[in-house]
Amino acid sequence: MCLTDAPPSGPVSSGSHPVQDQSASSPYQNVNDFISNVNRFKIIESTLREGEQFANAFFDTETKIRIAKALDEFGVDYIELTSPVSSPQSYEDCKTICSLGLKTKVLTHVRCNMEDAKKAVECGVDGVDLVIGTSSFLQKYSHGKSIEMIQKTALEVIEYVKSQGVEVRFSSEDSFRSDLVDLLTLYKAVDKAGVNRVGVADTVGGATPRMVYDLIRTLRGVVSCDIETHFHDDTGCAVANAHSALEAGATHIDTSVLGIGERNGITPLGALMARMVVTAPEYVTKKYNLKALKEVEELVASAVNINIPFNNPITGFCAFTHKAGIHAKAILANPSTYEIIDPALFGLTRYISINSRITGWNAIRSRCEQLGINMTDDEVKEVTAKIKQMADIRPLAIDDTDSILHSYHIELQKKRELQEQQA
């Protein structure tokens, strides 16, 4: 399948992509998956909307501007902002960010009613994301509207937003607990009305990749517009669900930096990049500034007073740390033996731990070379045994291990000098 800088213009649906040219010398034709969008997706980055719902989040205007610029530098396709009707400051912040001249498009997420839509358009956004709950739970306990009333209101608001020359997305909320017939009827109506995207939201994080694939694949056969997806991470499936959605024909994935958001948050930007740089390396490395990921994650982590988790994909401090002796030996010979991702793609380096009882002598030999210490293999094995012996007693820091190496090397030099004198 041909890889491009950006998804093709117009709707992405079955049969909408040209067949890749085949070599005239080959009578065989490749079997292409025209539904999957893993090689041509867009990111709607929602740290400044969903992320504001994170328990620790308070973004002043200056912080919002810094985050917006960092996301723009990373290369996300859209930045989504908190609804301008949420508060007077939210309205002003929305206008401010719209005026920054970012390369990425700016969206705001509002309730599906005319007043909210008008406020959003006033701010100068590139797109308005309309949302309303469609599950029986939300119809009963949130807004009290029937599907028929939702559809009527949606069509009126969509018509207004389109008349203002602004992109429009219509999304159901709690999509996976909504009646399928109601959903498809509603999506078909708004697609016919000319929305740019329809949205599917796993609002409570209960969906599985199979459930996601089934719903998105079914929807792909009903609408011709793009499909945006929003996955909460309450059950730890957000990244897997996002990948499954793309395989089924979704075109846009909502993310937030470090996954921050309501409750456990949504699909993390960095974790999605970790998955997609393996699935579609040429597309991802060409389109996104991967080396900017660490900076944007550190910026957001500082803003919400949290540490980047030790096991965070890509930027966690253990992400590219190798400790077991058998792993270290293989990594030193060929990093791909125990790494699915090259840390250099993200401007990072791997680390071979040499401070434990499971340290291997090959790792110690590599450290000796770094320190300029010359020893035979037998000598390296002997000093490795000393390191293991000490590591059985207490935890070791890198300075401790280096001290053992230097002390052992000094002893070796003294022995060699003595042997030379005796000779």
Catalytically active residues, by annotation: 327
Residue 109: its H or E element: strand 105-111
d(CA 198, CA 17): 20
Task: Look at the block and give the residue holding tokens 């909307």.
Answer: 49
Would you say 98 and 65 are in contact if contact means Cβ atoms under 8 Å apart?
Answer: no
Would you say 91 and 123 are in contact if contact means Cβ atoms under 8 Å apart?
Answer: yes
Pick from 203, 254, 205: which is nearest to 227 by CA? 254
Tell me the CA distances in angstroms from 412 to 139, 354, 366, 421, one per residue in order. 79, 21, 18, 14
d(CA 106, CA 9): 19
Dig out the tokens for 57 from the structure. 């989040």
Exposure string over 119-154, b if 16+ CB within 10 A, otherwise e: bbbebebbbbbbbbbbbeebbeeebebebeebbebb
Length of the chain: 423
Would you say 169 and 195 are in contact if contact means Cβ atoms under 8 Å apart?
Answer: yes
Pick from 235, 233, 197, 190: which is nearest to 216 by CA? 197
Would you say 36 and 239 are in contact if contact means Cβ atoms under 8 Å apart?
Answer: no
Paired strand residues for 187? none
d(CA 213, CA 220): 10
Paired strand residues for 43? 253
d(CA 273, CA 179): 32
d(CA 35, CA 18): 12
316 contact partners, CB below 8 Å, separation of at least 6: 308, 309, 310
